[in-house]
């Protein structure tokens, strides 16, 4: 698939090329949730867990053992979530194939308390990844990102630390070779 902005739609993944210098996105797998020619692009990094659960961040949230992830460098004082229970959570935005973004937060707390939403149904993020109009297109032209199809196992499965390598390996061809590149290089 050619890496161009026309191929970036909600539900796609973009993976940082192996030598990306921006520490926010080193070996990042980003789920695109919104792409607009007028407003830009919004996504969340799927493979940067933070050592806390959602109840560490939101004091009035019901007891819930859901890990939190670093969504990106924009608005790191905000919490976002993607989930697969959009039919239960009003105001959710369909991203793709039963994957939703956001929704009524007060209703979310009620559904969690009633155990109608479990940690396997939702992923929380601090901050988000955002690109202004034209910014991501320029980065794609420079080869900074690799585009891939989303799989719900990439979003909700375990093993976030190895996700970048797993997605590239599953993509096959030359990407399997790229996935084997070491995380750091040292010179003897």
pLDDT in tens, 2-45: 678 899 999 999 999 999 989 999 999 999 999 998 999 999 99
* CATH code that applies to domain 5-179: 3.40.1740.10
Distance set, CA 170 to CA 45, 88, 174 (Å): 19, 32, 11
Stretch 131-149: mean pLDDT: 96
User: For the purposes of burial, counting CB atoms within 10 Å of the CB of 134, is it exposed (0-12), middle (13-18) or buried (19 or more)?
Assistant: exposed
Token pair, residue 46, equals 């799927």
Banded pLDDT at 176 (limits 50, 70, 90) = confident
Report the range of poorest mean pLDDT among 84-88, 89-93, 129-133, 158-162. Answer: 158-162
Token pair, residue 135, equals 């910014």
Stretch 115-132: mean pLDDT: 97
């Amino acid at each position: 698939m050619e890496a161009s902005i026309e191929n970036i739609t909600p539900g796609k993944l973009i993976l940082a090329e192996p030598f990306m210098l921006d520490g926010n996105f080193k070996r990042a797998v980003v789920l695109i949730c919104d792409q607009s020619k007028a407003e830009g692009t919004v996504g969340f990094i799927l493979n940067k867990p933070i050592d806390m659960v959602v109840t560490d961040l939101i004091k009035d949230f019901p007891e819930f053992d859901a890990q939190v992830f670093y969504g990106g460098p924009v608005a790191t004082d905000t919490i976002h979530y993607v989930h697969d229970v959009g039919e239960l959570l009003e105001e959710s935005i369909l991203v793709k194939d039963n994957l939703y973004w956001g929704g009524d937060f007060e209703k979310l707390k009620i559904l969690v308390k009633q155990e109608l939403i479990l940690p396997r149904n939702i992923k929380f993020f601090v901050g988000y990844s955002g690109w202004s109009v034209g910014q991501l297109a320029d980065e794609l032209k420079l080869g900074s990102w690799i585009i891939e199809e989303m799989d719900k196992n990439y979003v909700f499965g375990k093993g976030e630390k190895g996700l970048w390598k797993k997605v590239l390996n599953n993509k096959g061809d030359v990407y399997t070779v790229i996935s084997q590149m070491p995380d750091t290089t040292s010179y003897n």
